[in-house]
Amino acid sequence: MKKPIIAGNWKMNKTNADTKALITELIPLVKDAECEVVCCVPFTDIVTARKAARGTNIKIGAQNVHWAEKGAFTGEISAEMLKELKVTYVITGHSERRQYFAETDETVNKRTKAALAAGLKVIVCVGETLAERESNKTAEVVTRQTIGALADISKQDLKRIVIAYEPVWAIGTGRTATAQDANDTIKIIRRVVRKLYGRASANSLRIQYGGSMNPKNAAELMAMPQIDGGLIGGASLKAEDFAKVVNYNK
Ligand code: 13P
């Protein structure tokens, strides 16, 4: 059985003081969760988050990583730096990175490989824009993004990858993909992975849904056979809301 994974993506929210308060409030609320619980925090909050979550079932992740080992890349963070801070996960290819920071399938792949090489687990995001969906390009886009992100990644390393399907039009808009639509697109993504790695690897890969997932719709989304977790933005910023998503089955 795959263990579902519910991850919060805090984006550019929360100071160190906020981080300590939020994690502390979250700990008792999620301690009996049956899924894996992750908080992907800003780089500057990692140390505080790790310290606050020590000895609990909350794992800490980062939101981006550079592909080079070191060097003249002002403003970037290497996989080694993250590893030293003992983060478990890192997100790559988030649509906000693709949209505002010129992230491409190639750079997403490079970042993913660097993270894997350092021993980290990676949440790789894919998803179509509204214009792409309206011109019936969803399958084409998620196929291209999935193949691109996974280029040159071994079957062994795939075990440390989670894919997050996040339709861009559902992010921060309050507009969720219907559970059926999310399930159908995730099925397409899984089929791509099956072609690349075989049935067993595709079936054991966890694929999350992300985009306005919240306490109200989490149970319905998580009940879909293809959906193995959630990547939560807005609703991960309040302990009570995030805990309700984490405890979707209770
Ligand atoms: P929202 O849950 O705020 O729509 O954000 C989703 C997301 O982008 C998570 O990575």
Q: Which residues in the chain come in under a pLDDT of 70?
A: none
The best mutation among 90, 232, 238, 245 to test binding of ligand 1, ranked by most ligand atoms within 8 Å of the C-beta, falls on 232
Residues of the domain holding 35:
5-246
- For ligand 1, the distance from its centroid to the CA atom of residue 214, given in whole angstroms, is 10
Q: Give per-residue pLDDT as tens, 158-195.
A: 999 999 999 999 999 988 889 999 999 999 999 999 99
11 Cα nearest atom in ligand 1: 10
Quick check: helix, strand or coil at residue 135? coil
pLDDT at 100: 97
Annotated catalytic residue: which of 36, 66, 94, 128?
94
Q: What is the model's pLDDT at position 47? A: 98
171 lines ligand 1 (CB under 6 A): yes
pLDDT of residue 128: 97
pLDDT score, position 176: 85
Q: What's the pLDDT at 211?
A: 96
Q: How many domains does the chain have?
A: 1
Can you give 8-46 as a three-state secondary structure string? EECCCCCCHHHHHHHHHHHHHHHCCCCCEEEEECCHHHH
Which residue's structure tokens are 């949209």?
99
> What pLDDT is stored for residue 175 in this prediction?
86
66 tagged catalytic: no
pLDDT at 52: 98
Continuous segment of H or E residues that includes residue 207: strand 206-210
Where helices occur in 135-238 by DSSP H, the ranges are: 138-150, 155-158, 179-197, 199-204, 218-222
pLDDT of residue 1: 78
Query: The CATH number of the domain where 53 resides is what?
Result: 3.20.20.70
Quote the pLDDT of residue 194: 98
pLDDT at residue 174, as a whole number: 87
| Rg (the chain; Cα; Å) | 17
